Chain A
């Protein structure tokens, strides 16, 4: 596949800001989870920010995004409301799901973020259903994006969905965030062929495996694919190779339980997508250290506003004994 064009520097600046927002948001959530101010389980996206940020930089508000248990990054990248996300994670009434869902069940329909599920691969067919709506009523002008991990490709429903989408040439982009693990199990202990794009290629759709920590490559590749998807050329799969820095769930690292090697974590931390893009933009003279610091301060302030918003919102109460829920 020929990936053409060079990402506009303004777009890259936007992606940098999105990644930074996700990173700082997740670090803040981790802090609060450690202090038990956040009680629901949180699956943090630290290290994987490039994928959601760069893919969603190609999307309009009307385009759909569907997500997983590791939902915050996708929600933020699709421009979901930050305050309601933070409030949801706190289990508050002002949360995007009114406190009924917590971190794994978030939604912002106005932003085209159509929900997340805690069941592995759960939203993949649902994303294809949204693509079916676009195919039937919108002439494919709206694309549906399903984000999911490599673990989701263990499930049969993933292949059923890819086949159906390929058969009807549905406008859907499957984005597999391959972080090499499904909770404690590495890919090679679960998959006879660990290359997701190779397995899916046989459904006769466009597939590509790329560096998931390089936001520029991801942006270009997804742009190219989405343009073709919207032309009615059918679905595509983008497999982004990455790594999560923190534990599968929670604020700790998984190192303590022996699931991963410290060297691996260190290795991947050196490939930080934020540092990478910052460096590129510095080199191109597009952003100065000062501007970066200002951006960071702005993002921090936005996150602190979200935290206060969440803290000030009341906890939802069960209304009456019987019809409480």
Chain B
């Protein structure tokens, strides 16, 4: 066993990637200070220098286009947004360009760009310092979107992301940075599609991703003490979604709860819920349930914030309801 934290696993992946592939460079606001990116980029500036560690002006839109151009012409940029909230300025370059460029140019212009999008919330930081925008990137065609929930997947998916040729959104949650798992020192890859069954059960299925997998794991434990056996699925990739794993689980349990760290309307739950309603209808014993953020910007004040973010307790209650009602 070699336990490593999520943020250290990302850091290790970057050291190995940049060492083995000279085309890779990092770019973004704050890439050279832990103030923005925690310890995920520690040591890279010393090792690879400012030419490959480009800490930029506060020009999100411009640097995104610049990253696309570099990717188009042979390099492998890793563009970091220290908070997803700061990505809105770059939306045109992200959606109208990175996502579409190769498609509209008949496949002659691939954009191998990895965009790291970090969710950073809590601590009364309020509505512009808390957003989880996975649904946007799922919605618009053109991206692979991954949301690793643990250190092992984070390292492996990052290493896989840099090796492939499509634009990809790699979503991290700062609340996961301390999460630890057994992480091999050697480089390895984890497939960029495919969900994982975290724990098996027969009474209900929980589908979660990223940080919500952690909360769901706690909920599964506490439900087990009450003799409720929950099957927990970690989506890992939210685009494309692994239909097979989800459908197979619902076939077994007949009950589905989708847990998403983003807003309710039009989110992951809407997509997974449709999938199951459409292709797994005959297996359902109860209406599909979801837990997500309320359709509201994040409030600042502590008690409001506490009510805003769902926890393992919210999940436990919802599963008990799901089971008792039907």
Contact = CB atoms under 8 A, between A and B. Distances in A.
Interface of A: 39-41, 91-92, 95, 97, 99-102, 104-105, 117-122, 151-152, 154-157, 182-185, 189-191, 248, 257, 259, 315-318, 322, 324-325
A155 to B, nearest CB: 6
Contacts of A101: 126-127, 300
B187 interface: no
Contacts of A102: 124-126, 300-301
A118 B128 contact: yes
Contacts of A315: 301-303
B123 A154 contact: no
A62 B306 CA distance: 38
B250 to A, nearest CB: 26
A161 to B, nearest CB: 13
B261 to A, nearest CB: 16
A248 B36 CA distance: 12
A184 B129 contact: no
Interface stretch (B56-64, B95-103, B274-282): B56-64
A257 B33 contact: yes
Given A39-B124, A117-B128, A189 B304 contact: no
A183 B301 contact: no
Nearest to A93: B301
A317 B305 CA distance: 10
B304 A316 contact: yes
Contact of B303 (A118, A182, A257, A318): A318
Contacts of B123: 39-41
B23 to A, nearest CB: 24
B175 interface: no
A157 B301 CA distance: 30
B90 to A, nearest CB: 10
A310 B166 CA distance: 52
A316 B57 CA distance: 38
26 contacts: A39-B124, A40-B125, A41-B129, A91-B302, A95-B301, A97-B300, A100-B299, A102-B300, A102-B301, A104-B128, A119-B85, A119-B88, A119-B89, A154-B57, A155-B58, A155-B61, A156-B61, A183-B30, A184-B35, A185-B55, A257-B33, A315-B301, A315-B302, A317-B303, A318-B303, A324-B308
Contacts of B307: 317-318, 324
Interface of B: 30, 32-36, 55-62, 85-86, 88-89, 123-129, 294, 296-297, 299-304, 307-308
For the complex of A and B, 3 pairs with smallest distance between CB atoms = A325-B296, A102-B300, A91-B301
A105 B300 contact: yes
A321 to B, nearest CB: 8
A317 B303 CA distance: 6
B126 A316 contact: no
Contacts of B33: 183-184, 257, 259
Given A152-B58, A184-B33, A91 B300 contact: yes
Contacts of B126: 40, 100-102, 104-105, 118
A91 to B, nearest CB: 4
A248 B58 CA distance: 15
Contacts of B125: 40-41, 102
A99 B85 contact: no
A99 B294 contact: no
Contacts of A318: 303-304, 307-308
Contacts of A92: 301
A226 B303 CA distance: 43
B219 to A, nearest CB: 18
A105 B35 CA distance: 22
A117 B129 CA distance: 11
Given A39-B123, A41-B125, A118-B126, A325 B304 contact: yes
Contacts of A182: 57-58
Given A104-B126, A105-B126, A324-B294, A316 B301 contact: yes
A325 B294 contact: yes
Given A41-B123, A190-B58, A325-B296, A119 B128 contact: yes
Contacts of A259: 33
A104 B60 CA distance: 20
Contacts of B128: 104-105, 117-119, 122
Given A39-B123, A91-B124, A151 B58 contact: yes
B62 to A, nearest CB: 6
B58 A325 contact: no
Contacts of A40: 123-126, 300
Given A155-B89, A325-B294, A325-B308, A191 B57 contact: yes
